[in-house]
Amino acid sequence: MTTKFHGNENVACEAHEPDFLQCVEGFFDQAAAVCGVKKSTLSAIRGIDAVLSVTFPIERENGETEIVRGYRAQHSRHKLPVKGGIRYAKDVDMHEVEALASLMTYKCAVVDVPFGGAKGGVAINPREYTVGELERITRRFALELCQKNFLGPGVDVPAPDVNTGGREMTWIMDTYRQLNPTDINAPGCITGKPINQGGVRGRTEATGLGVYYSTREFLKFEQVQKVTGLTGDIEGKTVSLQGFGNVSFYAAKFFIANGAKVVAVSDSKFCAYNKDGLDIEKLGKYKAEHGSLKGYPDAEITEGSTKALEVECDILVPSALERQIGLKNVHNIKAKIINEGANGPITPAAHEILVQKGVVIVPDLLANAGGVCVSYFEWLKNVSHVRFGRMNRKWEEQGKERLLALVEEQAGRKLSESERQQVIHGAEEHELVYSGLEDTMIKACEETRITAEEFGDIDYRKAAIANAIRKIASCLEGTGVMFASRG
CATH number at residue 274: 3.40.50.720
- Asked if residue 207 belongs to a known ligand binding site, the reply is yes
The mean pLDDT of 269-277, rounded to a whole number, is 96
CA distance 6 to 16: 16
Domain boundary among 163, 197, 231: 197
Whether 67 maps to a domain, the answer reads yes
Domain that includes residue 174, residue range: 50-197
3-state secondary structure of 134: helix
pLDDT of 419 above 90: no
Question: Per-residue pLDDT tens for 146-173?
Answer: 999 999 998 999 999 999 999 999 999 9
Give the pLDDT band (50/70/90) at residue 480: low
* pLDDT for residue 482: 52
* Cis peptide upstream of residue 297 (ω within 30 degrees of 0): no
Q: Are residues 139 and 109 in the same domain?
A: yes
Whether 3 maps to a domain, the answer reads no
Question: Per-residue pLDDT tens for 19-29?
Answer: 999 999 999 99
* pLDDT for residue 287: 95
Domain boundary among 152, 179, 197: 197
Whether 33 maps to a domain, the answer reads no
- Asked if residue 414 belongs to a known ligand binding site, the reply is no
pLDDT of 4 above 70: no
Question: Per-residue pLDDT tens for 344-373?
Answer: 999 999 999 999 999 999 999 999 999 999
- Asked if residue 246 belongs to a known ligand binding site, the reply is yes
pLDDT of 6 above 50: no
Q: Reading across the β-sheet that carries 270-273, which strands appear in turn?
A: 300-303, 270-273, 261-266, 238-242, 315-318, 337-339, 360-362
Q: Are residues 181 and 287 in the same domain?
A: no
CA distance 382 to 176: 15
Whether 464 maps to a domain, the answer reads no
Total structural domains within the chain: 2
- Asked if residue 83 belongs to a known ligand binding site, the reply is yes
Q: Are residues 211 and 360 in the same domain?
A: yes
Give the pLDDT band (50/70/90) at residue 219: very high
Which H or E element spans position 451?
helix 429-454
Q: Are residues 82 and 153 in the same domain?
A: yes
Domain boundary among 352, 368, 384: 368
Question: Per-residue pLDDT tens for 108-141?
Answer: 999 999 999 999 999 999 999 999 999 999 999 9
pLDDT of 191 above 70: yes
* pLDDT for residue 401: 87
Whether 139 maps to a domain, the answer reads yes
pLDDT of 8 above 50: no
Whether 380 maps to a domain, the answer reads no
- Asked if residue 4 belongs to a known ligand binding site, the reply is no
How high does pLDDT run on average in the chain?
A: 93
Question: Per-residue pLDDT tens for 279-301?
Answer: 999 999 999 999 999 999 999 99
Q: Are residues 163 and 101 in the same domain?
A: yes
List, by residue number, the catalytic residues.
Answer: 119
Question: Per-residue pLDDT tens for 435-475?
Answer: 999 999 999 999 999 999 998 878 999 999 999 999 999 99
CA distance 187 to 450: 38
Please indicate, yes or no, whether the overall pTM of this predicted structure exceeds 0.85.
yes
Give the pLDDT band (50/70/90) at residue 334: very high
Which H or E element spans position 398?
helix 393-411
**Cα atoms found within 13 Å of the Cα of residue 49, Cβ hemisphere only:** 21
CA distance 78 to 58: 35
Q: Are residues 225 and 182 in the same domain?
A: no
* pLDDT for residue 2: 39
Whether 41 maps to a domain, the answer reads no
Which H or E element spans position 96?
helix 94-110
